[in-house]
């Protein structure tokens, strides 16, 4: 890494620690591993710092979902294409215990129906029986 990259990452980390209210923590293991599908990469966000960075980059409120992840209500994945973040996906557990796709949002919380379809395809491979067209 270059000095500029390291300095930028360090500044980002310090800002994350400064701006969060509460401790930094690691989440339970993701429900499903990330992986490639249809030209995208799904990356599980495994810590409160990951959520902060995702929210900051994607300009959304996903950083506030930490407690929901810890409580087992949802898991959050970053959707990337060619290494760039293009959307954020929430995978939720319903009252019946079934897993489904929650929100999928582009930058600034814009809906991302084309990427939601990709997330549904990925999740159907992880959780057989999921309705891809929902």
Instruction: Report domain extents, the chain.
Output: 24-126
Query: What pLDDT does residue 13 have?
Result: 61
Query: What pLDDT does residue 24 have?
Result: 73
Lookup result for tokens 């690691």:
26
Which of 10-24, 68-82, 106-120 is the least confident region? 10-24
SS (H, E, C) 27-65: CCCCCCCCEEECCEEEEECCEHHHHHHHHHHHCCCHHHH
Q: Which two structure tokens, joined as six digits, stand for 113?
A: 């129906």
Query: What pLDDT does residue 7 have?
Result: 75
């Amino acid at each position: 890494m270059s000095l500029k990259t390291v300095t930028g990452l360090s500044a980002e980390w310090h800002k994350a620690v400064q701006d969060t209210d509460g401790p930094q923590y690691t989440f339970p293991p993701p429900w499903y591993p990330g992986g490639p599908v249809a030209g995208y990469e799904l990356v599980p966000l495994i810590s409160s710092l990951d959520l902060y960075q995702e929210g900051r980059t994607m300009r959304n409120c996903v950083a506030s979902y930490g407690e929901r992840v810890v409580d087992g209500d949802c898991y959050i994945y970053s959707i990337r294409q060619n290494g760039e973040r293009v959307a954020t996906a929430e995978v939720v557990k319903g009252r019946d215990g079934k897993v489904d796709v929650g929100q999928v949002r582009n930058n600034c919380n814009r809906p991302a129906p084309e990427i939601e379809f990709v997330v549904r395809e990925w999740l159907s491979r992880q959780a057989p029986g999921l309705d891809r067209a929902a």
